[in-house]
Amino acid sequence: MITRALLHLRHVGNDLSRDKGVNLALAAVLVLSAFLMATGAMVMERVVGSVDQLFEEARPPHFLQMHSGDYDPGALESFAERHPDVEAWLIEDMLGYDGAALSWSRASDGESGDFSDSLIDNLFVTQNDGFDLLLDGTGAAPRPSPGEVYVPVAYQQAYDLRAGDELTVETDAGSRGFRIEGFVRDAQMGSSLNASTRVLVSEEDFRELGRAGGGAPEIIAEFRLADPSAAADFQRTYEADDALPKNGQAVTFDMIRLINAVGDGLPAVALVFASLVLIAIAVLSVRFVIHGTLEGEVREIGAMKAVGIPDRSIMGLYLTKYGVMASAACVVGGALAVVATGLLTRGVEANFSQAPPGAATVLVPVAALAAVFVFVMAVCRGVLGRVARMQVVNALVHGSLLDERREARRARRRARRLRPSALGSRRGRAVNRRLALLDLRAERGRWILLPVVFSLAAVLMVLPMNLLSTFASPGFGAYLGVPDSGVRADVRFADDVEAVHADVVEGMRGDDRLTDVRSFGNVLMEAEDADGPVNLRVDVGDHRRAAVEYLEGGRPESGEIALSLLNAERFGVSVGDELVVDGGDGAAPLTVSGVYQDVSSAGYTAKMQGEPPSGADAYVVFADMAGEEAPGDVAAEYEERFPSASVIPMREYIQQTMSYATDALRGAAVLSAVFGLGVALLITSLFLRLVLSRDRGKTGLLSAIGLSSGEIVGQVWLKVLVAAAAGTAIGVVFAATAGESLAGALVASAGLGIGELTFIPDPLIAYAAYPIALMGAALLGTLILTAPLRRADKSSWLGQ
C-alpha cells in the first residue's frame, strides 16, 4: 500500500513538473471555481445568520399596522385581550419629518449638509420595551439622554456622519439641535426598500418635538404572536375589525425578513451562479487536458497494459494527479473565500448584526467545496474510463486510444470529409486563410473547447451586468408601479396636506420647464376576498399616460381597478374578474383591468382612474421635463419653494429605493467581469499550449513547404479569432434571451412582486465593451503562446 502511494505521488510530481504552464492554468481555473462557490455559500450563510441574529436581538413584531390620524387605544387593548395567541403588543408613537427638515453639522471641520435628497420618511421615536428594539453596534438597546439622538446606520454610511455631530430639526417653533450619540440598526425599517426609517430620541425630547409642531404624528400597532406562521391569519382578523386603526401600511414578519435579506442575498446568488459557470469551464478544461494527456502517452499506457498492470491502477495514477489538484484548489479557494467573505459582508454586519460563528459557518462552505471536488473527480473518472476500453495493439502500433472498429469508423469519416480544395486558384493571404479554416473544420472536435468556454465567459460577464443595469435604470420605475418621469413630488408630512398638494400641482403646471404633470392620491379602501374584507391601498388619478409595466391587461378606466401582482394573487383574481371594493361610500364591484408589477409598499398596491380625491392620506405628483434643464436643478428649486414636499428626480428615486440591491450587485458584477476575462485568457493559453505542442509535426510540414513563420502564426491567430468570436456571440445572445428568462424566474421566486423581468441593458458595456474585452483576452493569450513560434527551428519538428 505504501509503495503504491509513493508510486502515485512520484507520478504526480513528474506530471506536474513536466508541463507547468498547462497545470498552472488548469489549477487557476479550479481555484477560481472553488473560491466563488465557497464565497457565495459563505455570503449566503452570513446574510441569513446576520438577519437572524438581528431578529433575535431586536425581536421585530410578527404583525404591525401603521396608522396616521385619530384612533381608539381601548379598541386595540380589547382586541389584544380577545386573542390569546398575542404574546405581547405595543403602540409606538412617531413624529414624521421630511428630509428637508433635517440637517447636520460638524464643529471640528465645519462640514454640514441635510437630508433633503432622501425620499425616506424620518420617523422620530423613543426606545420600545420588550420587543422591536433599535440596537447600537454592540447589540444593546440604547436609551438616549435629553439632547442626544441615535440615527440609522444607513444615514451614517450615506452622509459619513460621526458621533458628536449635531442634528438639527426644523419645527414650527424653530430649530432644535441634538448631539448624535451613536447609530442604530433597525430590524423593521433597515432596508432601502422601506419607505421609512426611525430616529431614536429620549422621551422628554419626543414630547417637546410634539409640542413644537412640524412633525406628522403616526403610530405603529405591533404584535408578537405565539405562532409567527399565523401572522397572515392574524392580519385578516385585525383588518376585519372596524374599530381598529388601519390608515397605513400593514406588514407581516415574513415581509420584513424578505425585504431585509433581498438586497445582500442577490449578490450571493450571483456569486454562486458565477461559480457554476466557472465549474463548467473547469470541467471542460479538465476533460480537454486529460484527453490530450492520454493521446500523448497512449503508447506508455499500452505498454503498462501489456505487462499486466490493471486498468484501475493505471487510472489511479492519473486520477491521483487531478485529485491532488482539485484538493489543493479547494483548500486555496476556501482560504481566499474566507478573506473575500469578510470584505463582502462588511455592509451586512453594519446594517444587520455580526452573527456568531456556528456549525453552519463551517459546514456550508465545506459542503460547497466538497461538491466542487466530487463533481470534478466524477468527470475525471468518466474521462479516464477510456483507459479500460483501450486496446493494447492499437495503442502500441497505431498510437490510438480507440479500438479497431472505432478507429475504422473515424478513418471513414475523415475520408468523407476530404474534398478537393481550389487552393491553386488562391494567392497569398487567401491561401493562408483557406488553410486555417480547413484545419479548423477538420479539427473542430478539438477546437470546440474555445467557443464553448468563451460563450460561458460571456454569459458570466453579461448576465450580472444586465441585472445590475436593469435595477439601476430609471426605466425600472415600471417595476415599482410608477411611471418613468423627470421629477417626483411626495406630499405627506405637512400640517395641511391638501393645500401643499394644490400649491405643488399649480406651480408645476405653470412651469414652462415641466410638462405632463400628473397627480395621484393614496386612499385606503377595503376589498372582498374569499375570507372577507381586507385593506387595500389605491392610487387614484389619471393613469392614462402612466407607462407602468402590465403583466396582463392594461390601465384602469372608470369602474375598473388595476392590481399589483401580489394583490391579484391575494384576491385570486385576474383580468376581467370582478373585485368588490368599498371606498367609504358603500361596496361596489369593480372589473380588474390589468395586473402590474410593483415592489413598493411591500408589493400590495392598486390603481383607479379618476380625479385625486380630497382627504387622501398622501399625494404623489409626477412631471416630465420639457426643456434641457437638469431634473436635479428643478427638483432642488421646488424643494426650496415647498419645504413640506419631497421633490426628487425620478432617476434618484429609483437609485435610493433599490440602493441595497444595486450596491451589492455592483460588486458581484465587477467580480464576474474580472473572472470572466481572466478565465478566457487562462483557457486560451492552456488550449494553445497543448494544441501547439501536439501539432508540431504539422507545423514543421507547413514550414517545409514554404510557409513563413508569420503565415503559420497568422493561421493560429485566425483560428483563435474565429472560435472566440463565435463563442462570444453565442454567449451574448444567450445572456440577452434565455439569461433574461433565468434571471426573471429567480427574481419572481423571491416574492418581491415582480412576475416577469425584462432587461434594461447598457448596450455599450454589455454588447460592445465586454465582447471586445473578451476578444482582447483571446488575442493576448494567442500573442503570448505564439511568440516562441517565430524563433523556433520548425524543421526539427518534422516527424514529431
d(CA 199, CA 712): 71
pLDDT tens digits for range 569-586: 888 899 999 998 887 777
Q: Which of 16-25, 248-257, 361-370 has the highest mean pLDDT?
A: 361-370
pLDDT(425) > 50: no
pLDDT above 50 (res 470): yes
Residue 223 pLDDT level (bands cut at 50, 70, 90): very high
- Of how many residues is the chain composed? 800
Whole-number mean pLDDT of the chain? 82
Q: Is 540 exposed, middle or buried (CB count within 10 Å of its CB: 0-12, 13-18, 19+)?
A: buried
pLDDT of 387 reads 74
Is residue 776 over pLDDT 90?
A: yes
pLDDT of 224 > 90? The answer is yes
Question: Where residue 99 falls among pLDDT bands split at 50, 70, 90?
Answer: confident
**Percent of the residues in the chain that have a pLDDT greater than 90, as a whole number:** 28
What is the pLDDT at residue 484?
77
Distances (CA, A) of 369 to 25, 424, 675, 679: 19, 56, 18, 19
Mean pLDDT computed over 321-334: 90
Higher pLDDT, 433 or 78: 78
Helix, strand, coil: what percent of the chain each, to 5?
55, 20, 25
Q: Kindly tell me if the per-residue pLDDT of 76 is higher than 50.
A: yes
Least confident of 189-193, 298-302, 509-513, 710-714: 189-193
What pLDDT was estimated at residue 629? 85
Please tell me the predicted confidence (pLDDT) of residue 92: 94
DSSP 693-751: HHTHHHHHHHHHTT--HHHHHHHHHHHHHHHHHHHHHHHHHHHHTHHHHHHHHHHHHTT
What is the model's pLDDT at position 495?
A: 67
Q: Quick one: three-class SS letters along 629-642?
A: CCHHHHHHHHHHHC
What's the mean pLDDT in 730-750?
Answer: 84
357: left (phi over 0), alpha (psi -120 to 50) or beta: beta
Query: Could you give the percent of the chain with pLDDT greater than 70?
Result: 85
Each domain of the chain, given as residue ranges in start order, spans 1-62+253-413, 69-247, 427-474+659-800, 494-643
Q: What is the pLDDT of residues 619-628, one digit of tens each?
A: 999 999 987 8
Identity of residue 517: V
Render pLDDT for 108-166 as a digit per residue (tens, 0 to 9). Answer: 888 888 887 777 788 999 999 989 999 998 889 999 999 999 999 888 888 889 999 99
**Mean pLDDT, to the nearest integer, of 371-379?**
90
**Each residue's pLDDT tens digit, 291-302:** 777 776 777 777
- CA–CA distance, 436 with 497 (Å, rounded to integer): 75
| pLDDT value for 491 | 84
Q: Is the predicted pLDDT of residue 490 greater than 80, yes or no?
A: yes
> For residue range 641-697, what is the model confidence (pLDDT) as tens digits?
887 788 888 888 877 777 767 777 887 888 889 989 998 998 898 888 888 777 666
When pLDDT is averaged across residues 81-109 and rounded to a whole number, the result is 89
pLDDT number for residue 486: 87
